[in-house]
Amino acid sequence: MNNQELYLKDKAQYLPTFNRIPITFVKGQGSKLWDIEGKEYLDLLAGIAVTNVGHCHPKVVKAIQSQAAELMHISNFFVSPPQVALSELLVNISGLSRVFFANSGAEAVEGAIKVARRYAHSKGRGGKIISMENSFHGRTLATIATGQAKYQEGFGPMPTGFAQVPFNNLEAIQNQISDDVAAIIVEPIQGEGGIRPADAAYLKEVHALCQANDIVLIFDEIQSGIARTGHWFAKDHYGIQPDILTSAKGLGNGMPIGAFLCNEKIASAIKFGDHGTTFGGNPLATSAAIAALEVIVEEGLLKETREKSAWLIDQLKVLQVKYPQIKEIRGLGLMLGVVLDTPALPYMQALLQKGIIANATAENVLRLVPALTISYEELQKFIHTLDDVLHAMNSK
Ligand SMILES: *Cc1c(COP(=O)(O)O)cnc(C)c1O
């Protein structure tokens, strides 16, 4: 079987909801991927900010292999050592006090919305959830109700009790404040929305507004968390502690796992039976996540990510001076967006032709979310190739 044959076979069977690229990957190591025809690629997408410690990191592989042979699943009726250990790790790195495990990002957000509403109702408040325009919180019904209009089209009726306001606009939030509002959900850095960081002053004000009005502040750090920005969570750059924090993507380094964390105030509104899950946080998934978090510590990836980020931004700025197509470089850590003056898709395709995987998002943004373990040589290779692509597209 070759790339094209598998692509066509897949196309005939899979629900036509992805416009897949006709490449079939069969092997990964670090930031390298190999397709079924043996061609090597450099990966700056990392499964959409998922394989933060690289594809098939030996420590993660070993954790999965040995846990799979020991015990994979027991239900949440019982206690499991890896789940207890992961809870402890997450509580330590987040500064929050309670954790709940899910199987994906959207599910973590769903849980966060539920407990936020549960808390609000316990205080006699309404259940309205305020989210940001251009945000992304997942593809379930409640999470599309928080997100962009394009994901809602044709799926009505939408769940009620959701309102959207422009991002980075304090007045728009102030105008929404009432006893009806249970929570505000915000990505400290919008990911799918085009790598847009929240303004620091804005986020501080939102936090203060929530505290003053007993509104639950939810940070969706599914993409920006787990060392992605050079701190455990993007909130650490801002020095703001939300009431609830969601995590997924990089948490399991490819093993599907999500989580939300909350403070004791929120947790105190939750009682037996309020929420649940069959798979969430099972021994297999939590073992993978523990290994991924330990790799981040052992390999000093928080500091490395900040250093690589500074280096990469410098290199991108050199390209920006050379090529008028680059409008802006934004983001934190290794969650960077190169904003172009035209759609990013042709750039993404040109890079792919040259064996480099990046992502086009929000129309004109080239999104770079490589593994945090990516080497300087690999980053250099990317910069050289991007230089070539920008040059070719410039002279078109
Ligand atoms: C990817 C993402 C989600 C959804 O995660 P899934 O695992 O695809 O459900 C939610 N919020 C943010 C910020 C994301 O980047």
- For ligand 1, the distance from its centroid to the CA atom of residue 321, given in whole angstroms, is 34
Classify 219 as helix, strand or coil. Answer: strand
pTM of the model: 0.98
pLDDT given for residue 261 in this prediction: 98
Averaged over successive runs of 10 residues, the pLDDT of the chain (396 residues) comes to 96 96 98 98 98 98 98 98 98 98 98 98 98 97 91 94 97 97 98 97 98 98 98 98 98 98 98 96 98 98 98 98 97 98 97 98 97 98 98 85
> Is the C-beta atom of 44 inside 6 A of ligand 1?
no
Answer yes or no: is 25 a known binding residue: no
234 contacts 224 by C-beta, under 8 angstroms: yes
- For ligand 1, the distance from its centroid to the CA atom of residue 380, given in whole angstroms, is 29
User: 3-57+300-394 architecture in CATH?
Assistant: Alpha-Beta Complex (3.90)
Classify 317 as helix, strand or coil. Answer: helix
Clarify whether 180 is annotated catalytic. no
> Is the C-beta atom of 105 inside 6 A of ligand 1?
yes
Answer yes or no: is 277 a known binding residue: yes
> Is the C-beta atom of 361 inside 6 A of ligand 1?
no
pLDDT given for residue 396 in this prediction: 66
Give residues with Cβ within 8 angstroms of 43, minimum separation 6: 28, 31, 32, 33, 51, 55, 357, 370, 371
- For ligand 1, the distance from its centroid to the CA atom of residue 48, given in whole angstroms, is 9
The domain 59-298 having CATH identifier 3.30.70.20: the answer here is: no
> Is the C-beta atom of 229 inside 6 A of ligand 1?
no
Domain ranges of the chain: 3-57+300-394, 59-298
Clarify whether 249 is annotated catalytic. yes
Phi and psi dihedrals of 254, rounded to 5? 120, -25
49 contacts 223 by C-beta, under 8 angstroms: yes
- For ligand 1, the distance from its centroid to the CA atom of residue 316, given in whole angstroms, is 27
Burial class from Cβ neighbours inside 10 Å (0-12, 13-18, 19+) for residue 260 reads buried
pLDDT given for residue 147 in this prediction: 80
Atom 6 (ligand 1): residue with closest C-alpha?
Answer: 105
Helices of type H across 323-371: 345-353
Stated as kind and residue range, the H or E segment containing 189 is: strand 189-190
d(CA 97, CA 266): 10
Question: For the chain, what is the largest distance between any 2 Cα atoms, rounded to a whole number of angstroms?
Answer: 64
Looking at residue 39, the DSSP 8-state letter turns out to be: -
- The DSSP result for 104-165, as a single string, is SHHHHHHHHHHHHHHHHHHTT---EEEEETT----SSHHHHHHS-GGGTTT-PSPPSSEEEE
> Phi/psi class of residue 144: alpha, beta or left (left: φ > 0; alpha: ψ in -120 to 50)?
alpha
Answer yes or no: is 342 a known binding residue: no
Phi and psi dihedrals of 62, rounded to 5? -65, -40
Which residue of 132, 136, 228 sits with most ligand 1 atoms within 8 Å of its CB, as the best mutation to test the pocket?
136
Angle, helix 301-322 to helix 283-298, in steps of 10 degrees: 70
d(CA 21, CA 7): 8
Clarify whether 220 is annotated catalytic. yes
3 contacts 36 by C-beta, under 8 angstroms: yes
